[in-house]
A and B are shown apart, each in its own frame.
Chain A
Amino acid sequence: QKEVEQDPGPLSVPEGAIVSLNCTYSNSAFQYFMWYRQYSRKGPELLMYTYSSGNKEDGRFTAQVDKSSKYISLFIRDSQPSDSATYLCAMIKAAGNKLTFGGGTRVLVKP
């Protein structure tokens, strides 16, 4: 079983809808959580970085962390066709120095 699970999608939504993405993890040692966006043939780009349970908002993006359930989420409001990409969750253990990635969810926002 993988340490971090993420639905591969694709997730198809109409423009303007809310995109909801999530990852589950099995090891409670993970303490720092990230979301990356990756366009085709490009490197991942950091979107959000959180290290505590609760919500963090940045523009149209909201990241949620629920450590008790070992579950993290990313919400994209007012989605645009330019949001079409693969979204990767990643996390680091408290005593660690390596990222563990989910497999990525492909998102398609249709005009």
Chain B
Amino acid sequence: DGGITQSPKYLFRKEGQNVTLSCEQNLNHDAMYWYRQDPGQGLRLIYYSQIVNDFQKGDIAEGYSVSREKKESFPLTVTSAQKNPTAFYLCASSPDGRQPQHFGDGTRLSIL
């Protein structure tokens, strides 16, 4: 069953702590994306990657970091520099940048 798996579903962060959100896809897609969604808001792009070992900043990259060491994996780290990290984080993938994106079911991050 092909799809995108995000884990964990819920995550809590303490002050000054970095946390990493996992995103794995078995769709053999080249492109992967991370979005942030705040209550009642649309999706804002954090980072994206068109190919392994390459990624670009999106519209709100400050306080976040990513890596793309494998085609199927695109983890997102929320660093302590991100002062307002409470949000719903969505990972997506696409065969290439012009095809529709398919989404995982998200990780909800909260501050302790």
Q: Chain A: residues with CB nearer than 8 A to chain B?
A: 6, 8, 32, 34, 36, 41-46, 49, 88, 92, 96-99, 101-104
Quick check: is B14 within 8 A (CB to CB) of the other chain? Answer: no
Known: A44-B90, A88-B43, A103-B42. A98 touches B104 (CB 8 A): no
Task: List which B85-112 residues lie within 8 A (CB) of chain A.
Answer: 88, 90, 92, 96-98, 100-106, 108
Nearest B residue to A45, CB-CB: B103
Closest to B88 in A: A41
B48 in the interface (beta carbon within 8 A): yes
Assuming A34-B100, A43-B106, A98-B97, what are 11 further A-B pairs, CB within 8 angstroms? A36-B103, A41-B106, A41-B108, A43-B6, A43-B105, A44-B90, A44-B103, A46-B102, A96-B97, A97-B97, A103-B41
Across the interface, B104 reaches (CB within 8 A) one of A36, A43, A88, A104, namely A43
30 A–B contact pairs at CB < 8 A? A8-B40, A32-B98, A34-B100, A36-B103, A41-B88, A42-B105, A42-B106, A43-B90, A43-B92, A43-B103, A43-B105, A43-B106, A44-B43, A44-B90, A45-B103, A46-B100, A46-B101, A88-B42, A88-B43, A92-B97, A96-B98, A97-B48, A97-B96, A98-B58, A98-B97, A99-B33, A99-B101, A102-B42, A104-B41, A104-B42
Residues of A within 8 A of B42 (CB): 6, 88, 101-104
Chain B interface size range: 20 to 34
Which residue in chain B gives the minimum CB-CB distance to A99? B101
Chain B residue contacts of A44, Cβ below 8 A:
43, 90, 103
Contacts of A88 in B (CB 8 A): 42-43
